[in-house]
Amino acid sequence: MNLENAISLAIPLVRKEEGIKLNAYWDENGYAIGHGNHYWEDGRAVKKGDTITPLGADKLQRFYVRQ
């Protein structure tokens, strides 16, 4: 299986488990946003009050799934 196939399988699984939240929320490990991400692409931690668009949440998820 190549990377793109693996990503295509992983993304719907994460979305099913995490859902989507456009405002930062407290998770057991700190604040999260979008599809359960705790960090932005630049490595900054998600903070209380942060917001994201649905498109931004999808891009952030794809970024971390690729990692």
**What does the pLDDT look like over 31-54, one tens digit per residue?**
999 999 999 999 999 999 999 999
Partner residues linked to 33 by β-bridges: 37
Mean of the per-residue pLDDT values for the chain? 95
18 and 35 Cβ atoms separated by less than 8 Å: yes
Q: With beta carbons less than 8 A apart as the criterion, state whether 32 and 24 touch.
A: yes
As beta bridge partners, residue 37 has 33
Could you give the percent of the chain with pLDDT greater than 90?
84
pLDDT for residue 4 = 87
pLDDT at residue 61 above 90? yes
Cα-based distances in Å from 61 to 3, 26, 42: 15, 18, 13
pTM: 0.87
Nearest to 27 by CA among 50, 8, 10: 50
